[in-house]
């Protein structure tokens, strides 16, 4: 019998994906125990779904104390830095947090009897893949410190004694749970859907200025060898991704062996398809982004094959691109989002 109850450590649970997974865990009957340093996350997000403890996952004494307090039956690990450009500029910071702190976290919770770990990894471990769609057996050749640090964290997790683990590898996550008061609050904002949506919402000028979005969105390249000439990428709604983490948790609790699963949407979405969906969802038929040359190093198509996750975990993404856009737009209109971004911008510039 797989339990539908028990305490689950959620490292990085005050961040975008971690907070949505914590919400989904709570709805599934578990009790998420959120650990977050709040270097990137938000306290209000960390406190939404269960007990919250502020601290660094690289602090073994802190992690051990939380384990002693809550006696978790498993852990889900999200506490990582995720910006590719920042990883190139600050590789030491990325390896120190994403790999070294993760290793301390894995070893500490294992010493406290936590033998099941679900790791929020990334398809960036594949680099510029040799095959598309990308399978779990595709060669892992990261091309930046972000992807390399996550790959080395995966490897560190798999050699910890008495631990069974699942690494979930995926590309782009979008959407929100606005009715639950949760959504994406990245600063700076580099993700495509927020960058498309925000300038179309009549957002406060001070917000668009802080995010560098006053000039609107541009298509970088319309001559790719794809179905409409624009680059194709894999997008998953954050709540579909959260479902996958809960399924992976139940897989491990039910006796599943250490494994790796790619999570993908199937065919992916081209940038032009995202633009068309945005016109429809936001009722902006006038939306016509400018066109700019391709950016160096941007592959035409990046899609993860999720056949294995669908067959072994029983996971199926249920929310399409229109729901991603609509939920993101609803979230980006909230006072919580606007105030959080302006606070982060002020802190960064002071």
What amino acid positions are annotated as catalytic residues? Answer: 146
Q: Which two tokens stand for residue 243?
A: 């479902």
**DSSP E strands: which ranges in the chain?**
7-11, 31-36, 52-54, 74-77, 116-120, 164-170, 172-174, 218-220, 232-233, 235-237, 259-263, 269-270, 290-292, 301-302
Interacting residues of 226 by C-beta distance below 8 A, sequence separation 6+ = 232, 270, 300, 301
Q: Do the beta carbons of residue 126 and residue 144 sit within 8 Å?
A: no
Interacting residues of 340 by C-beta distance below 8 A, sequence separation 6+ = 42, 185
Question: Which residue(s) pair with 236 in the sheet?
Answer: 173
Q: Are strands 7-11 and 31-36 parallel, antiparallel or unpaired?
A: parallel
| Eight-class DSSP state of 294 | P
143 three-class SS: coil
CA distances 100 to 111, 120, 127, 149, 285, Å, are 17, 16, 21, 9, 48
Among 206, 217, 213, residue whose Cα is nearest residue 339 = 206
Interacting residues of 92 by C-beta distance below 8 A, sequence separation 6+ = none
Q: Do the beta carbons of residue 270 and residue 228 sit within 8 Å?
A: yes
């Amino acid at each position: 019998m797989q339990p539908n109850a028990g305490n689950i450590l959620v490292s990085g649970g005050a961040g975008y994906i971690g907070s949505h997974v914590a919400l989904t865990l709570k709805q599934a009957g578990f009790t998420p125990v959120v650990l977050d340093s709040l270097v990137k996350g938000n306290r209000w997000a960390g406190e939404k779904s269960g007990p919250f403890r502020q601290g660094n996952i690289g602090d073994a004494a802190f992690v051990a104390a939380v384990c002693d307090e809550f006696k978790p039956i498993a852990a889900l690990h999200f506490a990582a830095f995720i910006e590719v450009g920042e990883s190139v500029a600050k590789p030491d910071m990325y390896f120190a947090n994403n790999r070294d702190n993760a290793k301390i976290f894995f070893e500490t919770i294992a010493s406290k009897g936590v033998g099941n770990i679900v790791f929020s990894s990334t398809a960036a471990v594949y680099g510029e893949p040799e095959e598309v769609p990308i399978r779990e057996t595709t060669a892992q050749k990261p091309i930046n410190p972000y992807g390399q640090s996550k790959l080395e964290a995966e490897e560190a997790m798999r050699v910890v004694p008495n631990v069974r683990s699942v690494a979930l590898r995926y590309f782009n996550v979008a959407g929100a749970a606005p009715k639950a008061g949760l959504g994406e609050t990245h600063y700076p904002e580099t993700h495509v859907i927020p960058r498309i949506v925000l300038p179309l919402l009549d957002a406060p000028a001070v917000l668009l200025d802080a995010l560098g979005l006053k000039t609107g969105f541009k298509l970088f390249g319309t001559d790719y060898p794809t179905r409409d000439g624009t680059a194709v990428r894999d997008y998953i709604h954050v709540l579909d991704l959260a479902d996958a983490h809960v399924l992976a948790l139940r897989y491990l609790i039910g006796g599943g062996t250490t494994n790796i699963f790619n999570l993908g949407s199937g065919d992916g979405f081209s940038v032009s398809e995202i633009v068309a969906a945005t016109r429809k969802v936001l009722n902006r038929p006038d939306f016509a982004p400018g066109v700019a040359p391709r950016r160096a190093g941007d592959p035409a198509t990046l899609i993860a094959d999720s056949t294995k996750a669908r067959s072994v975990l029983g996971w199926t993404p249920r929310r399409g691109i229109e729901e991603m856009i609509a939920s993101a737009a609803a979230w980006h209109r909230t006072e919580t989002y606007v105030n959080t971004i302006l606070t982060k911008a002020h802190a960064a510039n002071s």
